[in-house]
Structure 1
Amino acid sequence: MNTGDTAFMFLSTVLVMLMTPGLALFYSGMVKEKNVLSTTMHSYCCIAIVSIQWILVGYSLAFGPDISHITGNLSWTFLNNVGFKPLAAYAPTIPHNLFMMYQLMFAIITPALITGAFAERIKFPAFLAFILIWTTVVYDPVAHWVWGTGGWIKNLGALDFAGGTVVHISSGVSGLVAAIYIGKRKIRKTSPNNLPMTILGAGLLWFGWYGFNAGSALGLNNVTMTAFITTNTSAAAATISWVACEWIVTKKATVLGAVTGAVVGLVSITPAAGFVTPASSIVIGAIGSIICYFAVSYLKPKFNYDDALDAFGCHGIGGTWGSIATGIFATKAVNSGGANGLLYGNPSLVLTQFIATIAVYAYSIIMTIIILKVVSLVFKLRADDNEEDLGLDISMHGEKGYHIS
């Protein structure tokens, strides 16, 4: 065990944990003031529910010994055989239980990202059931496919450094399905109730993302530093790109647009962070921001779906671009454990990335529909008109976020 790597990964773990409260601020600042607490509650419930699920079965399903390249077995349930001794197959220089905790933080924030799609209209009991089942039957198997020893997407040779497919595509696509299935809000176009809160949340996300991406090197080395640099660079390029799009289209550069662009840049670089050069990260962030801007501004109105806080528009679309971009820009000069992409003489990596992306899309869509149907047999999914008019803070939780006379 390397004590330097261990200290670094402990720091990375708490940085990624901070991202979910940051996401709560980011999301809750954008909803109506009568739904600010319910939106916050969604993220915090993900912390609590997934933390227990991960210890019981989640970690074993995602990273346990392989079953038919699809999932892990249950030999690590209740953290059986998950102790302080490093596990060479995943992280040979840090404690196995530290690696487990680091991966838990990814498992927590992924379903929390989904909640932005159906904000302001889902009933609380249905939400709790959905998150528990989705994490178990969608996130855990997909994590095993991509990152687990023996996973079929990993064996295929697809690259996902820190979660473009596992985190962003799975959550964004599932969020879109849930938003369409549950239905549109009665009143959709409103101003953010607290834009400074959203800005603070975006800052915490950017800060925590260094642990998310750089920490995915699972130690402190040259790949770590590359991921650290590309993460910041992509976010900066995407911020500029989004603001430029707004300026050209609407003649106004908004603060909400700037922080949204930053998040999109972070999403876009996530699968590529440890495989591409800093110069490539500028292109990935800038193009990703343009694609997501037009997805949010034109694709959503055209198809008239109510992705309330653009979980699909930012995470689903941004993760998709990042996954394909990895196939274009990856180079073994940055990471010898990766692969060369299209620009470095290996066009087949683009096809591999495309297969991985389509597989996660298909699985997420099918399983999310099934989960929603199952949950709806037990709980009512959608808040009724009176509950929506009153606001979910009062109708679901009996509280108000703001007391202004």
Structure 2
Amino acid sequence: MVRIAESVRAATGALATMISRASEDGWLEVMTVVGEPSAGIVEGLRWRRSDLDALLGSAEQLGRLHATKHRMVSYVEVPTSVPETERYIAHHLGLLLTPLHTPDGALLGVLTTEGPVDLAHPAAGTCELVELYADQARLALTALRQQDVLNELRRLDEYRRDLVASITHDLKTPLTAIALNTELLESDGRLAEAGSHPVAAIRRSADRLADLVDDLLAMARIDEGADDVAEVDLVDLMREACEHAEVEARLRDVTFDIDAPEELRVSVDRSSLTRVFANLVGNAVKFSLPGGHVVLQLARPDDGIEFRCTDEGIGIPPDRLETLFDIPRRTPDSRTQDHPGSGIGLAICQRIVTRIGGRITAESTLGKGTTFTVRLPG
């Protein structure tokens, strides 16, 4: 913006040029000043939007430029104990004003020059040249506003991650206490004689809460980057995922069919990809019909690595596939209500795979099953 202000000052022969940015509270903040303003205007001073409107209302228009010699007020940041009438600098200037607007007409700021203004005989091409520089100033202010929005989004995202991490760590303490006391109750023989189903219910609830806490912690840590990148065998990770789901697979009489090479090594964040494999395999078992098969395929085509996990389960409605990896609403299908879970596992998988440069997709047919495909660079 300094270069733009310098160019405008040179083109108009002005004593000074300034670029101000509009704020949401009705003020214009001076962002850039080039030259020596007679009123000693410096960066950071603010003036009212209403003062700009008054100047424009009485100015002579030259294309998109407005020329006037009216009173201009710059407000000085001073303690509130100073009377309002003493909080500004008032001066009469020859001003050339160029409001800067967004495409939809919102005021972004204003380009202003102080100095001689020839209303009757402006120099040939001067107005067009200033308008050209004004377009550059508008683009600069637009980029600045977008950067401000981006910084605020980053700040909010960092706050979200810190909040999730803080809450989940706080939840860990009572969950640990529940788990320990459940073990004590289960070891009490009198409870075994009376029937232990209340204790089993407590343990199931504690396990579900623990899974939710782990998922929330994983979500908070995803954007922090990979922590343990190393060369690992993806075939081992796939088999570990099967072992993790083995107990539930036996209860549901679900079997695994594996199609993979003896070894497939790649450098990757082991812990993150372990979570992806375990989540997809666990879901495949969870939503399989009794006696079904889960087919796991791992290969290395020319363009990278491909992992496929296919079940013969209840399937996913077509309208749900579009938002499957969002945070989350679980499928509004009564058939899923008997399958507890945190509901954010697929969102975590999608973010992990995207972070390491891959892609995850899903295909499904209701009543026949679902296939998840993970493609990784490699």
Alignment TM class, shorter chain as reference: under 0.3
User: Structure 1 or 2: larger strand share?
Assistant: 2
- Structure number with greater Rg is 2
TM-score, normalised by the number of residues in structure 1: 0.19
User: Structure 1 or 2: larger helix share?
Assistant: 1
Structure of greater relative contact order (alpha carbons < 8 Å, 6+ residues apart) = 1
